[in-house]
Structure 1
Amino acid sequence: MAGLATASLVLSGCLYSMIPESQPSPTKSPDTENVAAELLPYYGQSLTWDSCGDEFECATVVAPLDWQNPGDRDIDLAIIRHRATGQSQGALFINPGGPGASGVDFVRDSITYATSERLRAAYDIVGFDPRGVQASTAVQCFDAPAMDSFLFDIPAGERNSDQWTAELEAANADFAQACDENSDGILPFITTENAARDLDLLRAVLGERTLTYLGYSYGTSLGATYANLFPERAGRLVLDGAVDPSIPSLDIGTTQIIGFESALRAYMADCLSGDDCPFSGTVDDALADLNTLYASVDRSPIPAADGRLLGADSLNTSVITALYSQENWPYLTQALTDVLAGDAEFAFILADFYYDRENGVYTTNSTEAFMAYNCMDYPLDATDEEQAAAEALMRAEAPTIAEFNLGPDPCEQWPYPPTGVREPITAEGAAPIVVVGTTNDPATPYAWSVSLAEQLSSGVLVTRVGEGHTGYNKGNACVDDAIDSFFIDATVPEDGLRCE
């Protein structure tokens, strides 16, 4: 259920203007101060940077697979850098979320979505693929046809029947077994705590004494975990669209589904105010009609040109994908208009975007890495009574989409027990940490940002009033100025700053 928190790039985040020509910044020596002897080979390594696209350079950092037993086996961490266009203040590390999203791709393809022009002038922008992700030593599970089957096949059994549940559990077990067989023993070590230790290594080999970091969505979990492990090395950290580390997986999933229902209501109100909306009447009328559409494709899936069938689950993925950003609401209108006319093609475009699927090929391993992190990070400790109560709450508060976000948890089939814990993060002793929350964020609800800011001993909350996932660099000058000034001038925003 917690899976819905992971998409981190908007559909419109692909087309950007040319990036200004960068100016070289000096190479710094690795920071090896107070590093244990057994870690010096890692912290003291020198990097070889190679060009990897216009005005970008890439390198590989070697890290221990098991930080408790360094030297037993190494893994690779892929990083990318865009040099500051002005006088560099150092490296600004960026994580786009997930877990499982590629920071290398994010910086290379979406640098103007990730950062403002002011930040690109002041910092070397550094993206990285966390362990298990894409260009780093990666989790590998299914080939494309098997992944298509796992994500898009429709069970033969009726929804919520014993047969339906058994089919999904069998598919989850096959997926977990493939991940274990094809990932060369790395699955037990794909955790956020290990990724945070990797992040400290990246900081050090780039010669930074403290970490300057911008984390979106799941990237807030990574950043908060880093600050908790290394409070004295936490420099200027911004956590945008926060995940609350203190609440269990079941509550994460429940809150997210309710958040997406809220975003769906906001979308439908906007849709009904226009001329091309395929629904009519009140918001409740329109959502009732959408429920009817869900039921229709659940009974009679719509075939697409590539042979896939659009059932209710894939339609729901399409809806949720578009709800991540208000800019993408017109795409949802087009998809729903087409599905009502019996055409599944555009709905599958949205679903494919969610899964990084293009022309039948999965361009990243985001789905596999997402599962690997969540299954190791989140304890499976909900009782049957708690599960039933959560399902009842979701159905009551999210009557349109709850039904299509229920079912067996894939992590129940994972070959390794989770090692993560769910508890508040205080990062005692860290410098001020800025948390950005958006009031109707569907994926990471605003209450989580409020909670994380309160938990952190030095937390500072900035609120963006609006729709969509995350708040920085979304056109709100109040938010953008506050974050840019924090990074560039070390000006800490007023705690509780509210940006209409």
Structure 2
Amino acid sequence: MPVRKRYLSLATCLLALVGLVACTQDSSQESSGPVGPVPQGLERFYSQSLDWGACDSYATSENARAAFQADGLECARLTVPLNYSEPGGTTITIGVLRQRASGERIGSLVLNPGGPGASGMTAAASMAPSVASRPLGQRFDIVGFDPRGIGASEPAVRCLTGAERDADRSDDGEVDGTPQGVAGQEAEERDFARKCAERTEHGEQLLAHLGSRDVVRDLDVLRSVLGDEKLTYLGYSYGTRIGYTYAERFPRNVRAMVLDGALDPEQDIVESLVDQGEGFGKAFTEFAASCTAKPGCALGTDPAGATKAYQDLVRPLIENPVPVGDGRRLSYEDATTGTIQALYSEQLWGSLNTGLAELRQGRGSTLMALADMYNERGRDGRYSTTQDAFIAIRCVDDPRVTDRAKILEAQRRYAAVAPFLDPGTPPSSARDACTFWPVPNTSEPHLPDVQGVPPALVISTTNDPATPYQAGVQLAKAMNGRLLTFEGNQHTVFLQGNTCVDRAGTAYLIDGTLPPEGKRC
């Protein structure tokens, strides 16, 4: 089913909401490994030295360039096999960033912000200064890595040029459910898959080895090279999948895991996306209730009428997009994407109301800016590779969905649970890019076998718009872990300013103390 346009990624809004900072060290080579178990035939990777130095040359987006400017961070490249079945063959590199512990060091806290496709280096750079003087920054090196194919890791997945992505965003053909519309959409999806294979270095070989199955093997190499016998890990959103996949693959190599904004490991892609739609539907209801209770709400004063008021604003964009300058026009897709971006956190609700109020006046600059934030489009018109990587990874991490009846039913269910995103046109049965992907999937939903793994701390937010609360409940059970409930309206929460959550997570990571059963913040 479509994941490229109608359905939105699970990427955390963390990078857009925290301050950006990072690094200017002189280069220094460091060898800390191998530590812990070393799989046979991979000795040269587990025992490699890292050449730590300045981070400027690792920046691949505006966010990264801003994040990598402050002191205290250093970067390096980790070499890994492209295909672990052929360790003597082609190698690729993984971008790594760290801020050293300022006190008595326990080890490394390795983090991933999700997506899939988001930069762990940028996330770590954004987070590290705020935790430097706190217990976590004193006891742990804060480490972020860009998973294979992402960001500073080389080679990166590349599918669309900036101009092609602008054109893709301005085309609202995905709401056309006619036979001609479906054929046109599928032609675009087939073309997208072809371009990914043609424009990505090593082509199909790299695309076949992008998934979580291979990422966790890179993560274990990194653990050893950093000098940690066991992994201490912080995963947000889709990063929770990396966490539980690692725990299943390397159960004896886990020290502690905080998994925040969890994915349900048993849920297939269809159910996951429908549940996500329900989460955004609930978030829109919360936004509408807050907005209509205040003067100047673009949706009026009646929360019961907010969905229709929203639809009346955005549906005309399907036929009549609004010019926003520089030759760009706000499409229906951009307006709804900008809305989704704002629903990730209450901090952006004010911007969403401003954008909708502008749209009433025939202007679209704020909604376009929110959509650009989601798509990681810089002011120079360049995009990060996050959206390309998102699709490429999902296509190998999940079985493809090709049953048109199932696609149509999912579209109807999505519109029912998130009616504000219903375009008012017949649903489309178009198959997405994964149907035409040149390589098969390498994973599928299942409960991870984590016997012998220490209990994980799973954090789940009651009104998380992107990863529903119940997914966290399910993952905590699957990981034999402890659930920490946060009552709020946002996607992910740890180390984002909530003292109750931060204290619980910090105590667990430092000394292994789990919060009491049923703990709520």
Residues 11 and 64 (structure 1 numbering): CA distance in 2 closer, same or farther, change over 3 Å?
A: closer
Corresponding residue for residue 10 of structure 2: 6
Q: CA deviation at 1:20?
A: 13
Q: CA deviation at 1:189?
A: 0.6
Q: CA deviation at 1:31?
A: 2.7
**What letter is aligned with 2:11?**
A
CA distance in 1: counterparts of 2:464 and 2:236, whole angstroms: 12
Q: CA deviation at 1:190?
A: 0.6
Corresponding residue for residue 450 of structure 1: 473
Moved more, 426-435 or 398-407: 398-407
Corresponding residue for residue 338 of structure 1: 358
What does 1:59-458 align with in structure 2 at a 5 Å threshold?
59-111=76-128, 117-137=134-154, 138-155=156-173, 159-183=176-200, 184-185=202-203, 186-381=206-401, 383-403=403-423, 408-456=431-479, 458=480
Q: CA deviation at 1:21?
A: 13
Does the 8 A contact of 2:404 with 2:431 survive in 1? no
**What letter is aligned with 1:470?**
T
SS in 2 for 1:357: coil
**What letter is aligned with 1:324?**
Y
Q: CA deviation at 1:267?
A: 0.6
Does the 8 A contact of 1:13 with 1:113 survive in 2? no
SS in 2 for 1:69: coil
Residues 426 and 107 (structure 1 numbering): CA distance in 2 closer, same or farther, change over 3 Å?
A: same
Q: CA deviation at 1:174?
A: 1.6
Any idea what the Cα deviations from partners look like across 1:373-406, whole Å, max 9, x if unmatched?
Answer: 0011110246444333323322222211144996
Of all paired residues, the percent bearing the same amino acid is 36
SS in 2 for 1:77: strand
Residues 68 and 140 (structure 1 numbering): CA distance in 2 closer, same or farther, change over 3 Å?
A: same
Q: CA deviation at 1:234?
A: 0.9
User: Do structure 1's residue 44 and structure 2's residue 44 form an aligned pair?
Assistant: no
Does the 8 A contact of 1:442 with 1:468 survive in 2? yes
**What letter is aligned with 1:51?**
A
* Structure 2 unaligned spans of 5+: 56-68
Residues 88 and 32 (structure 1 numbering): CA distance in 2 closer, same or farther, change over 3 Å?
A: closer
CA distance in 2: counterparts of 1:423 and 1:191, whole angstroms: 15
Does the 8 A contact of 1:20 with 1:85 survive in 2? no
**What letter is aligned with 1:4?**
L
SS in 1 for 2:143: strand
Q: CA deviation at 1:428?
A: 1.3
User: Do structure 1's residue 493 and structure 2's residue 515 form an aligned pair?
Assistant: yes
Does the 8 A contact of 1:21 with 1:85 survive in 2? no
Does the 8 A contact of 1:150 with 1:171 survive in 2? no
Q: CA deviation at 1:15?
A: 3.1
Corresponding residue pairs, total: 494
**What letter is aligned with 2:354?**
Q
Corresponding residue for residue 62 of structure 2: none
Q: CA deviation at 1:111?
A: 3.1
Corresponding residue for residue 66 of structure 2: none
Q: CA deviation at 1:19?
A: 8.4
CA distance in 2: counterparts of 1:210 and 1:66, whole angstroms: 24
Residues 459 and 119 (structure 1 numbering): CA distance in 2 closer, same or farther, change over 3 Å?
A: same
Residues 377 and 12 (structure 1 numbering): CA distance in 2 closer, same or farther, change over 3 Å?
A: closer
CA distance in 2: counterparts of 1:336 and 1:426, whole angstroms: 47
TM-score by length of 2: 0.89
SS in 2 for 1:62: strand
**What letter is aligned with 2:287?**
Y
Corresponding residue for residue 31 of structure 1: 34
Moved more, 311-320 or 275-284: 275-284
CA distance in 1: counterparts of 2:375 and 2:131, whole angstroms: 20
Residues 421 and 19 (structure 1 numbering): CA distance in 2 closer, same or farther, change over 3 Å?
A: closer
Does the 8 A contact of 2:402 with 2:435 survive in 1? no
* Structure 1 unaligned spans of 5+: none
Does the 8 A contact of 2:110 with 2:142 survive in 1? yes
Please tell me the root mean square deviation across aligned C-alpha atoms, in Å.
2.5
**What letter is aligned with 2:191?**
D
**What letter is aligned with 1:479?**
V
Does the 8 A contact of 1:65 with 1:73 survive in 2? yes
